[in-house]
Structure 1
Amino acid sequence: MFSSPEEALKYTVDQKVKMVDLRFVDLVGRWHHVTLPVSNFSEDTFKNGVAFDSSSIPGFKSISSDDMVLMPDSITGRIDSFWSEKTMAFICDVHEAISLKPFTHDPRSVLKKAEAYLAKLGIADGCRFSPEFEFYIFDQVKFINSANQASYSIAAEEMNWRFNDGDEAGSGFRIQHQTGYHAMPPRDRLFEIRTQIVSLMIENGIEVKYHHHEVGSAGQVEIEVLFSEPLEAADNGMLVKYIAQMTAQRNGKTVTFMPKPLNNHAGSGMHFHQFLHKGGKSLFYQKGEYSNLSSLAINYIGGLLHHTPAVMAFTNPSTNSYKRLVPGFEAPTKIFFGLANRSAAIRIPNYDDNEYLKRMEFRPGDGAGNIYLMIAAQLIAGLDGIVKKINPTDYNYGPIDENVTKLLQAEQDKIKSVPKSPEEALEALDKDREFLTSTGVFTDDLIDTWIDYKLEKEYKQMRDKPHPFEFELYFDL
């Protein structure tokens, strides 16, 4: 919003701003914040930052290490849409307190290094990303995890099992199981809240393509945004989640970007459309080749497919992620690319087939990841394919234009599968980390911390807890 700290400071005075909110993302992908009275906001805030205890932030420093400082990025400044007192919010980078150098575990700084690496290669002016935001809107969610109890329950006005007696007003207009795609009111009961979310996104400078009901019949929706450069796309991604969550709360509802909150219902992904550009045109377009893809695009696709298992440690980092990646729900389970193929890990859309917007879509990802690391890992993997001239056909990564789930099993077995668990993805990342670390974008310490955190704080704890379904299977044996 602002071109300089001076402009931001002037705005806070002219607009009588009361509070300044500084926001930063932890390694896992959650926002944290600290709020300053405007009287304590000055040029020094931009120059020297605001100190905080990094030992309390997931994936950051240990308790014996130095403090960190938050360095607000003036271009991200905007008035918060929800607070009663007029509050200016900034997204911050995390720097070392003494040296003021970017912290190597700061996800936003990692993505900045990825952008710098692309610029250093000199092959493009930039790379543009457009995430798809799929999520569920529920009325109420309850979950319990204790020594003697483990359960969750979900209530949503669109659930087709909610009304058993049939006397609820409007209950005749239900979305039947897995038929919610582009549903029309009165079956689509979430149009108004989606419109509120999108209106606030636009108000906050996010360009929106459209919004609609998704396949899931229990409140699944989707919002697509227009293309932007990697850092802006990631910043906007955090803001989209915040706006969706806060708007839902205002309406007495709640949202989740969990990949698979409901058994046997459509999962929610976060697909990333992307292309390199130069001189205002897509470098992925070359008329006359397969799907009008340039050789540079083919190599970018080759690199991303070749490193997909490792990349998925960031794009699909949760235990819940792999409950979505199963056949029958338009989620990719095989590593290949194809034209308009929704069973592919990389789909080439057959629309916008022109020199300005030619792109590819990476489909495995979901909303449980850290969007800064997700975009950085994809970009570096694709660039590795260009540098090493990786041809996807050499590795049996396609192109395949038919639904692979319809192929004979023997043919399916010839195509490499995506990881089937977070442990598989982390193992792939551990073995295939060089493409990330050799560029200087990711450090070994960051990757080690990511692997250790996911294994120790999430996966092993999940594995060791008794599951309610185990009682159904084994209690009476």
Structure 2
Amino acid sequence: MDKQRDFVLRTIEERGVKFVRLWFTDVVGTLKSVAIAPAEVEGAFSEGIGFDGSAIEGLTRTYESDLLAHPDPTTFQILPWRGEIDPTARMFCDLTTPDGQPAVADPRNVLKRTLAKAADAGFTFYTHPEIEFYLLKSDKPGPHGLEPVDRAGYFDNVPGGTAHDFRRRSVRMLEDLGISVEYSHHEGGPGQNEIDLRYADGLTMADNIMTFRTVVKEVAIEEGVHATFMPKPLHGEPGSGMHTHMSLFEGDTNAFYEEGAQYQLSKTGRRFIAGLLRHANEIALVTNQFVNSYKRLWGGDEAPSYITWGHNNRSALVRVPLYKPGKSQSARIEHRGIDSAANPYLAYALMLAAGLKGIEEEYELPAEAEDNVWALSESERRALGYRRLPSSLFDAIRYMEESELVAETLGEQVFSYVLSNKRREYEQYRSQVTPFELKHSLDII
């Protein structure tokens, strides 16, 4: 760590960095930032930077408001969009109390605690997200509602289109920040795009996702358009998910791989899936944390609505992708429920905790869904035992309220704050009189 700190201090001097942004997130997943001068960085490493945690959503109670932000030198990067004028760098921070204890409500710490639990069981957790988002001409609706930047569809090539330039600039910027990109392409909705980040350990990936969102927003501003990770911004069009591929490794060995097993999926992998399925409703308030999230889950267009798993079945909540012969390292599972607006630290902590619970308790994996789940009738789904995901934020709140797994993983303070925050959001939503109601009822009642 000392070598890494020395590298940071040396790079700041050599590159003429004028500002260093210290980044962390609140419980909802909003990125927070404080800029310090280069002369303050060494002190920040040794003592941290103090701030009022009670002013940040969910981080502290008012009577314990003082917190310290400790920059993680391994996350140091120059921000490429700042250019050569006043070069600026960033580091993610771990938050502590003044007496040096990890802040219990720091989302990054919640994930680190869960990763430590996995490590105690001999596992390293890797993730690979496919992040979808929309590009709109403006964040203000026009006469016909929100306008996407194009009318293209899945994998479409649009000569001279905004999305091409946007993705190219975004990918280059991400690579400059040390974030490897695997694919980028136009998605199924008009103006919808997807960029897939290459596999990394869970903590690095959560940091990368927060950086990714910032890059996408910055490039959109430069291109004169608006980028949104809202789960379902356009009625009648696909929502934006963050399908996440996951695997556990024991040293260099993929714990999800077993030669000769069905789909080459090991008993560990099967139990991990069983944990994700059994606890899916309990963790939904974090993997799908907004009122709008449930319009994606229940709006069709390949979003999962039922708690099932399958091999290459894109209607399932958890999918076992096609195995590449001779590549045991690539054996993995894909969670298709999480959306692009989730707090990655809390969501990945809960997804990992649910999978680990399945391994610890030796959950039995139910029969796979071989048919298109959406094409079945409700009675057929009932007969097959396919449970529904929550259909609203209110349902998700009720499931999480009863969850010991979520309370234990998040800790009392984060657990309580998430519930109170989401109850408030739902009450505000429920009290609205919407354009739909006025259009549907005003003249006829």
* TM-score class normalised by the smaller sequence: over 0.9
**Residue 139 of structure 1: CA displacement?**
1.3
* Counterpart secondary structure, 1:342: coil
TM-score, length basis structure 2: 0.95
Aligned position for 1:465: 432
How many angstroms apart in 2 are the aligned matches of 1:467 and 1:295? 49
After superposition, the C-alpha distances for 1:364-407 in whole angstroms (9 at most, x for unaligned) are 110121110010000010000000000122xxxx3112211222
Conserved 8 A contact 2:21-2:91: yes
Could you say if the C-alpha distance between residues 369 and 328 of structure 1 is closer, same or farther in structure 2, counting changes exceeding 3 Å? closer
How many angstroms apart in 2 are the aligned matches of 1:279 and 1:49? 33
Could you say if the C-alpha distance between residues 305 and 3 of structure 1 is closer, same or farther in structure 2, counting changes exceeding 3 Å? farther
Conserved 8 A contact 1:316-1:369: yes
Aligned position for 2:168: 195
Please list, as runs of the form range in 1=range in 2, the aligned pairs for 1:418-457 lying within 5 A after superposition.
418-432=389-403, 434-438=404-408, 441-456=409-424
**Residue 133 of structure 1: CA displacement?**
0.6
Q: How many residues were matched structurally? A: 439
Please list, as runs of the form range in 1=range in 2, the aligned pairs for 1:79-228 lying within 5 A after superposition.
79-83=78-82, 84-96=85-97, 98-122=98-122, 124=123, 126-142=124-140, 153-159=145-151, 175=152, 180-186=153-159, 189-216=162-189, 218-228=190-200
**Residue 104 of structure 1: CA displacement?**
0.7
Query: Which structure 1 residue ranges, 4+ long, deviate > 4 Å from structure 2?
Result: none
Could you say if the C-alpha distance between residues 462 and 322 of structure 1 is closer, same or farther in structure 2, counting changes exceeding 3 Å? same
Aligned position for 1:77: 76
Conserved 8 A contact 1:3-1:74: no
Could you say if the C-alpha distance between residues 390 and 343 of structure 1 is closer, same or farther in structure 2, counting changes exceeding 3 Å? same
**Residue 327 of structure 1: CA displacement?**
5.5
After superposition, the C-alpha distances for 1:152-178 in whole angstroms (9 at most, x for unaligned) are 94223314xxxxxxxxxxxxxxx3xxx
Conserved 8 A contact 1:337-1:346: yes
Conserved 8 A contact 2:111-2:348: yes
**Could you tell me which of 357, 371, 381 is aligned with 2:330?**
357
After superposition, the C-alpha distances for 1:458-477 in whole angstroms (9 at most, x for unaligned) are 11111112111111012122
After superposition, the C-alpha distances for 1:136-158 in whole angstroms (9 at most, x for unaligned) are 011111169xxxxxx99422331
Conserved 8 A contact 1:27-1:107: yes
> Which consecutive residues of structure 2, in runs of 5 or more, have no partner in the other structure?
none
**Residue 259 of structure 1: CA displacement?**
0.7
How many angstroms apart in 2 are the aligned matches of 1:195 and 1:3? 34
Q: Letter of the aligned partner of 1:403 in structure 2?
A: N
How big is the alpha-carbon RMSD for the aligned residues of Structure 1 and Structure 2?
A: 1.9
Q: Letter of the aligned partner of 2:336 in structure 1?
A: R
Matched, 1:294 2:266: yes
How many angstroms apart in 2 are the aligned matches of 1:119 and 1:48? 28
Matched, 1:256 2:228: yes
Conserved 8 A contact 1:301-1:382: yes
How many angstroms apart in 2 are the aligned matches of 1:66 and 1:344? 43
> Which consecutive residues of structure 1, in runs of 5 or more, have no partner in the other structure?
145-150, 160-174
Conserved 8 A contact 2:319-2:334: yes
How many angstroms apart in 2 are the aligned matches of 1:214 and 1:76? 30
How many angstroms apart in 2 are the aligned matches of 1:188 and 1:283? 43
How many angstroms apart in 1 are the aligned matches of 2:165 and 2:295? 30
After superposition, the C-alpha distances for 1:79-108 in whole angstroms (9 at most, x for unaligned) are 112224111211111111x21211111000
How many angstroms apart in 2 are the aligned matches of 1:231 and 1:391? 29
Structure 1 stretch displaced more, 126-135 or 5-14: 5-14
How many angstroms apart in 2 are the aligned matches of 1:41 and 1:300? 41
Aligned position for 2:278: 306
Q: Letter of the aligned partner of 2:423 in structure 1?
A: L
Q: Letter of the aligned partner of 1:154 in structure 2?
A: L
TM-score, length basis structure 1: 0.88
**Residue 252 of structure 1: CA displacement?**
0.5
More helix per residue:
2
